[in-house]
Structure 1
Amino acid sequence: MRAITIAEPGGPDVLSWSEVPDPQPGPGEVVVDVRATAVNRADLLQRQGHYPPPPGAPAYPGLECSGVVSATGPDVAGVRVGDQVCALLAGGGYAERVAVPAGQLLPVPAGVDLVDSAGLPEVACTVWSNVVQVARLTAGETLLVHGGGSGIGTFAIQLGAALGATVVATARAAKHERLRELGADLLVDYREQDFVEEVRQATDGRGADVVLDIMGASYLGRNVAALAADGRLVVIGMQGGRKGELDLGALLAKRGTVAATALRSRPLEQKAAIVRGVREQVWPLVEAGRVRPVIDRRLPIIDAAQAHRLVESNEHVGKVLLTVG
């Protein structure tokens, strides 16, 4: 088969469409003939040499895909050849075929196109596991989402709104109208406005109950300042650096919680549990049209370098998909 391989760490031009060995399903695995995959920030980091795949994962990028099951390994139940699925991956989505643990498969939601469903697994599992499992967001609370125009951001805005929260999102001004349509109650232009002050004003000084952060170090102090009493800050990215100073006094005064999670490196049983939770709690919202994949554009997989440049530019809204075949 063919896959996007990384010749050496570097810019988008190191990506090439190459022949690689066909995957074989191991115990508890299936092979999916890929119809589409999505570009995630982790793929850019892997291309640059900063985020190697975990042991046992394919060497090429791709943390999610959609497609058709073409083979099943031993000890697989409830999945048949021909099933249309989307899947959470540890890697290997930028390919014609990929082997997937059966516990990381999701059915394509009713009303969602097979190709577009490739943009759901990573964001749905990341957002649900952090906003619902870790941060315990409930109706009536305020959710602050950083990077509102990203795949994660557009999904978090919709899920927060569907759960009955007031949603505040940071994003470039050019993206505000689109994000308001997705359910954001307040948009903050992070280049021109202070999100701490904007959140305080919008909540009569109380602050955000939950903050979903992709920036890391550069936002750490301001995120704590933006928290409400008993607030929960969940860090899922380090685009603003990995080392920051935490004012424990400010955190103690608010009885605040800071958590940091990663999805790719979790054990298989934890990923399977998250996928089950997403299927039970999020898929009904998707099938009801209350949450939907936000697709900026589709590109052929041979144009993976162009897709990486687009994501690096931050000009997109939602997911950039790579189609196969």
Structure 2
Amino acid sequence: MDAVIVATPGSIDALELGELPTPQPKPGEVLVRSVASGVNRADILQRKGHYPPPRGVTDTIGLEASGIVEAVGDGVTRWQPGDEVVALLAGGGYAQYFVAPAGQLIAPPPGIDLVTAGGLLEVAATVVSNMDVAGLSAGETLLVHGGSGGIGTFAIQYAKALGCTVVTTAGTEAKLQHCREHGADIALDYHGDWVKGLSDATDSKGADVILDIMGAKYLELNIDALARRGRLVIIGMQGGTKGTLNIGKLLQKMGTVTATSLRFRSEKEKAAICARVVDVVWPLIGDGRIKPSPETHIAFRDVRRAHELLESGDNVGKIVLVHEAQ
């Protein structure tokens, strides 16, 4: 089968198209022919050698994909060949075929085609699972960093659907406007003093929950931005992995700092998260309260261009690799 191969981790040039054996589904697994593969920041980290897959998982990049069920392993009764599915993966999405545990497959949301759906599940699962961890509830204020990206765009809309006030950061006026158009109450330029901007917007209270993609670079600033009993959830490392934390300030605020990853959760946990997406998120998409992020569709063979665009910071919304019809 066609697949993206990274023989030696490194720059965009490390991405090569090649041939790999088509995987076969083990008991409880499903083989899927890919239609589209979502592109995520974690893919860039893996390409560079900074985010290896869990033990026993293929080293082919790709944490989400959509497609058509090709075959099922022993014990699988929920899915049949020909079914349309989207998948939450620990790896393997950048390929013509992939296998996934049956519980990590769900049908696409009603009215959404498979190409668009190929970039939805990782975003939805990330936001929902982390907002559950944080206990975000109606009436609270959520601060979302990187509001114009796929996760940010989704998180803004999800929090608004919950009845929250949403503050977000972005780097250009066009991206700030994108955030406002998708429901952000306050959009702040991260080049400026966004901590003060948040304080002014919340009458000095701060954010009850912060969803952070930056990591080390924003750690101290995020603590400054937290409200009393606030919860910081770190889901990315774009700003580095090692920072300093003023524990005294965190104690004064009675705050919580959590770091999470979907990729390293158990199969059972991932299946539960996928089920929650079906129960909670798909209806919000169905009734229009959440609209899929703007998408840039790039042919699978042009995977280098997809990574180049994501790394440039110029993209708004989600990038999806589209496989040729087979």
Q: Decide whether the 8 Å contact of 1:295 with 1:321 is kept in 2.
A: no
**Residue 59 (structure 2) aligns with:** 59
Is the counterpart of residue 281 in structure 1 residue 280 in structure 2? Answer: yes
Q: Decide whether the 8 Å contact of 2:116 with 2:295 is kept in 1.
A: no
Q: Decide whether the 8 Å contact of 1:296 with 1:316 is kept in 2.
A: no
TM-score by length of 2: 0.97
CA distance in 2, matches of 1:18, 1:243: 36
CA distance in 2, matches of 1:101, 1:310: 31
CA distance in 2, matches of 1:307, 1:300: 9
Aligned-partner residue type, residue 274 of structure 1: I
Aligned-partner residue type, residue 15 of structure 2: L
CA distance in 1, matches of 2:178, 2:230: 28
Aligned residues: 323
TM-score by length of 1: 0.97
CA distance in 1, matches of 2:244, 2:179: 31
**Residue 107 (structure 2) aligns with:** 107
**Residue 28 (structure 2) aligns with:** 28
CA distance in 2, matches of 1:295, 1:3: 26
CA deviations 1:208-259 (Å, max 9, x no partner) are 0000001111111111111111111001111111111111111111111111
Question: Aligned-pair RMSD on alpha carbons?
Answer: 1.0
Unpaired stretches in structure 1, ≥5 consecutive residues: none
**Residue 297 (structure 1) aligns with:** 296
CA distance in 1, matches of 2:163, 2:280: 14
**Residue 88 (structure 2) aligns with:** 88
**Residue 220 (structure 2) aligns with:** 221
**What is the CA-CA distance between 1:7 and the residue it aligns to?**
2.3
**Residue 232 (structure 2) aligns with:** 233
**What is the CA-CA distance between 1:289 and the residue it aligns to?**
1.5
Q: Decide whether the 8 Å contact of 2:213 with 2:238 is kept in 1.
A: yes
| Identity, % of aligned positions | 55
Match of 1:291, SS state, is coil
CA distance in 2, matches of 1:311, 1:275: 25
**Residue 18 (structure 1) aligns with:** 18
4+ residue segments displaced more than 3 Å: none
**What is the CA-CA distance between 1:101 and the residue it aligns to?**
0.5
**Residue 210 (structure 1) aligns with:** 209
Match of 1:282, SS state, is helix
**Residue 73 (structure 1) aligns with:** 73
**What is the CA-CA distance between 1:298 and the residue it aligns to?**
0.3
**Residue 39 (structure 2) aligns with:** 39
**Residue 121 (structure 1) aligns with:** 121
Match of 1:119, SS state, is coil
CA distance in 2, matches of 1:265, 1:256: 25
Match of 1:160, SS state, is helix
Aligned-partner residue type, residue 178 of structure 1: H
CA distance in 1, matches of 2:322, 2:80: 23
**What is the CA-CA distance between 1:158 and the residue it aligns to?**
1.1
CA deviations 1:261-280 (Å, max 9, x no partner) are 11101111111111111111
Q: Decide whether the 8 Å contact of 1:119 with 1:295 is kept in 2.
A: no
CA deviations 1:73-117 (Å, max 9, x no partner) are 011122111111111001111111100101101111012121100
Is the counterpart of residue 187 in structure 1 residue 152 in structure 2? Answer: no
CA distance in 2, matches of 1:3, 1:287: 33
**Residue 266 (structure 2) aligns with:** 267
CA distance in 2, matches of 1:157, 1:259: 20
**Residue 97 (structure 1) aligns with:** 97
CA deviations 1:107-152 (Å, max 9, x no partner) are 1101212110011111111111111x11111111100000111111
Aligned-partner residue type, residue 90 of structure 2: A
